[in-house]
Amino acid sequence: MDGNGRWARERGLPRTEGHREGALAVQRICAACGEQGVDFLTLFAFSSENWSRPQTEVKALMALLEEFLVGQREELMQRNIRLRAIGRIADLPASCQEQLAQSIELTRHNSGLTLVLALSYGGREEIVDATRRLMQKAASGQCSPAELNNALFAQHLDTADLPDPDLLIRSSGELRLSNFLLWQLSYTEFYISPVLWPDFEESHLREAIAAYSQRQRRFGAVPEG
């Protein structure tokens, strides 16, 4: 969800206002995904690298996260949205962890869109954490190196019970992965939008889905015809 800072700068506003507008875009896109039958939506809300930003901005982002978690509970329930989270959640402030846990528990039986928030998340960190879990199991005799394969490794990632993404949308014209879901994006289709995230609307989502629908996904196989 790139472009919050640029959106604010272009308007002579503090970066925090860009993040606030970005949160409104999250609400719009969650509603649109639910209406268009999308099953899973993962949002890169706060990366492990974002902790290095100025403390005033980090505090504002954490406050905005907590505000979102509390303020959107009714809408999550009304829209039948199930909330999940991935990342090093223990790094978040205690109050954010508490509100996140409450929202996850409240929505755990919802059967519509699954909204996954990536918080204090980094793809490399996730792979390291999964490797550490496997090494601990191997050390205790619960598994052996000979058993290791892609499926077993994936079971130890944060996304163990989630499908790999079909489509990655990057807003504001960014062309890099930025340490996001490095394992899971192996065969994901990319869609790059020039639109800054606070300006991202349902129409832009539909454009991305329409472009995806024209792709031929071969997963390394020889194309038909």
d(CA 108, CA 121) in angstroms, rounded, equals: 21
Selecting among 4, 50, 110, 129, the annotated active-site residue is 50
Strand pairing of 114-121 and 167-170? Answer: unpaired
d(CA 168, CA 42) in angstroms, rounded, equals: 9
Q: Which two tokens stand for residue 88?
A: 């090093």
Residue 119: beta bridge partners? 46
d(CA 159, CA 163) in angstroms, rounded, equals: 8
Q: How far is CA 38 from the centre of its chain?
A: 14
Q: Identify whether 50 is a catalytic site residue.
A: yes
The C-alpha angle with vertex 11 and arms to 17 and 7, in degrees rounded to 5, equals 60
Collect all residues with Cβ–Cβ distance below 8 Å to 186 and sequence separation of at least 6: 164
Please name the residue that has the structure tokens 């649109």.
32
Collect all residues with Cβ–Cβ distance below 8 Å to 173 and sequence separation of at least 6: 192, 193, 194
Residues belonging to the active site: 2, 50
